[in-house]
Amino acid sequence: MPPEPGAPRDPRAPSRRAPEEPPYAGAWRFTAPCVDSAAPRARRAVRDLLVRRAVPVRGELMDTVLLIVTELVANAARHAALLTREIGIEVSAGAGWVGVAVEDGHPYRPAALESGRLDTGGRGLLLVTSLTREAGGAWDVERTASGGKTVWVRLPLGGGPGGPGGPA
């Protein structure tokens, strides 16, 4: 039976409130044209967003997030341009984690491939895989309802020598 309104709460009773989210928690989505110049623009936009929202991503972790964004957007621009006019980019953060996702309209599911020594490209997802693993995160590819795909990465915020987000 619920207590009467205004009655003191039993301190031994479990709290019904969800754990409090940090003030920077949320998800933000923007689009970019599916062209080569989208990668550096997306990188700057993500960096500015993380700084403006005070998400504790600094130092090496910030470099990792921005390199991953650059690779994912560049891959979409290179491989999906025939079927995609715009790329969707999402940045999200919560208690202890930060995520990025890139969506395009191409149905091909990319894979991290080993490249030969003399190849000039083809290492993007291999780099994303390595960076994500090193940071203790995860990545995957999911189909969208429209037949395209979303490549997402989620990285932990803590664990670096300088506290959340690594050294400043």
How far is residue 98 from each of residues 5, 49, 106, measured CA to CA in Å?
39, 12, 25
pLDDT at 8: 55
E strands of 70-148, at which residues? 86-94, 97-104, 138-143
Q: Which of 90, 97, 89, 93 is nearest to 135 (CA)?
A: 97
For residue range 20-54, list pLDDT tens digits in order.
889 999 999 999 999 999 999 999 999 999 999 99
Give 27-156's CATH code, choosing from 3.30.565.10, 1.20.272.10, 3.30.70.260, 1.10.3720.10. 3.30.565.10
For residue range 87-123, list pLDDT tens digits in order.
999 999 999 999 999 999 888 777 655 655 544 455 6
Confidence grade of residue 125 (pLDDT, cut at 50, 70, 90): confident
For residue range 60-95, list pLDDT tens digits in order.
999 999 999 999 999 999 888 778 899 999 999 999
E strand or H helix at 121, and its extent? Answer: none
pLDDT at 9: 52
Burial of 65 (0-12, 13-18, 19+ CB in 10 A): buried
pLDDT at 150: 95
Cα–Cα dist 113/5, whole Å: 62
